[in-house]
Structure 1
Amino acid sequence: MTTTTRRRRPSRRAALYATLIIGAAMSVFPYWLIVSTALKPRGELFEAAPWAPPSSPTLENLGALLSSDFAQSILNTLIFVTVLTVGQLIFTTLAAYAFARLDFRGRNALFWLYLATLMVPNVVTLIPLFLIMRELDLVNSWYGLVAPYVFGTPYGIFLMRQFFRSIPREIEEAARVDGAGHLTILWRIILPLSRPILATLAIVTVISSWNNFLWPLIITSSADTRVITVAIAALRSEIGIDYTRMMAGSLLTLLPMLLVFVFFQRYIVRSVALTGLK
């Protein structure tokens, strides 16, 4: 190893660490801005730099939101997320088992046709979905809010199907010899072996449902069905934007997702890894 190469290594390492530190700072800065702004009194926001910490932190903004209709939006979001998660687990499991284990004509073609809908942006289907809900008189209702997602998604079915196909068929064949049917095999054999992927699907569904904004914005119009993401957008008034109140709402939205990530990050990483299974 030459002297020149030895000198280059520390400089490259220093440049790498500097790049990583800058990237980490850029990633953390928006979250710091949310927390800092949410804890500032209204008059202090424009008196100093936006990124400066609050001189006198206050929970007034959070308390004002929790004592308003925003608290109802949090409850609505919890109901929305729970219904979608339970529905996804039930219907996605049934569909994935059919695609993975049942033999019927056109199974693979139907599966790949259904999976191809992942290539279609969600915004393309928003207007047709809204027209369907309007004809069914489901606009501004809980049924219209959850209907497009509660019966499963292509991503969830693909994720579960790939895992089901990795379970040895010998286990299923042994159960058939004992007289077990499809529902018995699914309930007593497949599902106990699929607890990790079920947890992964639940976590992914919770995160995506909690952050869903565009469809709830279009299909709902009253506080009774308004979710938290739409409630944050509704904090804008005709006079202007109350940034401290809006950042307080963002903080209330962010905290549950941070807790989910901290406690269930291995399942989130697993969902990315399992998507590549053959």
Structure 2
Amino acid sequence: MTTKRILLYAALAAGAFISVFPYLLVVLTAFKTKAQLNSTEPWLPGVPPTLDNLGRLLGGDFPQYILNTVIMTVLLTLGQLVFTTFAAYAFARLRFRGRDVLFWLYMATMMVPSAVTMIPLFLIMRELDLVNTWYGLLAPYILGTPYGIFLMRQFFKGLPAGLEEAARIDGAGPLTVLVRILLPLCRPALGTLTIITVISSWNSFLWPLIITSGDATKVVTVAIAALKVGIGVDYNLMMAGGLIALAPMVAVFVFFQKYIVRSVVLTGLK
């Protein structure tokens, strides 16, 4: 093994350790008592480990917050897949006046930070009496995002036009062409969009924090932030909540890492 290869592997190992270390601290702190947290180094496990922190969370309202997050993630993902696909197909294949201008105006909204639109969105939801409701929580994002539409549009434009033309000659309409001809070829792009939407929805914090205030619609990220109350901070309890919130994303990575790698390649190419 050459010196260059040794240095390369050493750099990769150091980068991997730096990336994983914060998650290791979350796991170690979640299984420590307050006394162990103050008496041991952060990177050392507590002996003996304790499940009290997880028990305190799971014995309260935290399971309801997990269920709320799952519902939000599933609904947003389904909405993104359906509405994004239809919009992308219209921009890629259908011809109508102002199509390209409308598309690029919509894409221009990607340059606007999401935090800038939070106050206008909240005011709209307040006027519609949708604050602290599921409708208000889901409405701004369930109909698609500029990035998702751009990704699917580019994938549609990369498919051979002859397939669609042959189907039209056989009498197929636009909906039949989309559902029976193009969508089966779009599985890589749909997988990419699904992974991106699941991760972003599960980790969403700012909009749920602004639009929700009751337990019926509170999600995991907001619930973890709410653990920091009063004068002190219960780091053990917060890290236990972080561990519970992190576990589904780790499961997604373990079971779908092949598709995640494919999605990274696809998004890089597009």
Question: If the length of structure 1 is used for normalisation, what is the TM-score?
Answer: 0.93
Contact 2:203–2:221 (Cα < 8 Å) also in 1: yes
Which stretches in structure 1 are left out of the alignment for 5+ residues? 1-8
Query: Residue in 2 aligned with 1:261?
Result: 253
Alignment map for 1:69-218 (pairs within 5 Å): 69-218=61-210
Q: Does 1:61 align with 2:53?
A: yes
Alignment size in residue pairs: 270
* Shift in Å, 1:268: 2.7
| CA positional deviation for 1:108 | 1.3
Q: What amino acid does structure 1 have at the position aligned with 2:253?
A: F
Residues in 2 aligned to 1:171 and 1:26: alpha-carbon distance in whole angstroms: 48
Distance in 2 separating the partners of 1:172 and 1:14: 52
> Could you say what secondary structure the match of 2:39 adopts?
coil
Deviation of 1:276 (Å): 4.7
Q: Give the CA deviation at 1:277.
A: 4.5
Q: 1:245 and 1:61 mapped to 2: Cα distance?
A: 5
Whether the 8 Å CA contact 1:156–1:201 is kept in 2: the answer is: yes
Distance 1:129 1:237 in 2: 27
The 5 A counterparts of 1:227-246 are: 227-246=219-238
Deviation at 1:266, TM superposition (A): 3.1
Task: Say whether the 8 Å CA contact 1:159–1:271 is kept in structure 2.
Answer: no
Calculate the aligned-residue CA RMSD, in Å. Answer: 1.6
Residue of 20, 24, 27 corresponding to 2:16: 24
Deviation at 1:13, TM superposition (A): 4.1
1:45 aligned residue: 37
Please give the alpha-carbon distance, in whole angstroms, between the structure 2 residues aligned to 1:210 and 1:125.
Answer: 20
Q: TM-score, normalised by structure 2?
A: 0.95
| 1:88-120: CA deviation from partner (whole Å, max 9, x where unpaired) | 011001000001100111111111111111111
Native 8 Å contact 1:42 1:244 kept in 2: yes
Identical positions, percent? 67
Q: Is the 8 A contact 1:163 1:274 kept in 2?
A: no
Alpha carbons of 1:47 and 1:172: their partners in 2 closer, same or farther (altered >3 Å)? same
Counterpart amino acid of 2:117? T
Structure showing greater Rg: 1
Question: What is the deviation of 1:16?
Answer: 3.3
Question: 1:122, 1:264 → 2: CA distance?
Answer: 28
CA distance in 2, matches of 1:161, 1:24: 35
Q: Would the aligned equivalents of 2:132 and 2:211 in 1 still touch at CA under 8 Å?
A: yes
Residue ranges of structure 2 left out of the alignment (5+ in a row): none
Residue type of the alignment partner of 1:228: V
- 2 CA distance for matches of 1:210 and 1:224? 17
What's the CA shift string for 1:120-147, capped at 9, x where partnerless? 1101111110110011011111000001
- The 1:114/1:44 distance shift into structure 2, 3 A limit, reads same
Match of 2:218, SS? coil
The code of the aligned residue for 1:144 comes to: G
2:40–2:46 CA contact under 8 A, matched in 1: no
User: 2: distance between equivalents of 1:38 and 1:258?
Assistant: 16
Contact 2:191 2:263 in 1 (8 A): no
> What is the deviation of 1:42?
2.5
Which has the higher mean CA deviation after the structures are superposed, 122-131 or 17-26?
17-26
Q: What amino acid sits opposite 1:67 in the alignment? A: G
> Shift of residue 259 of structure 1?
1.1
Cα displacement (A) at 1:27: 1.2
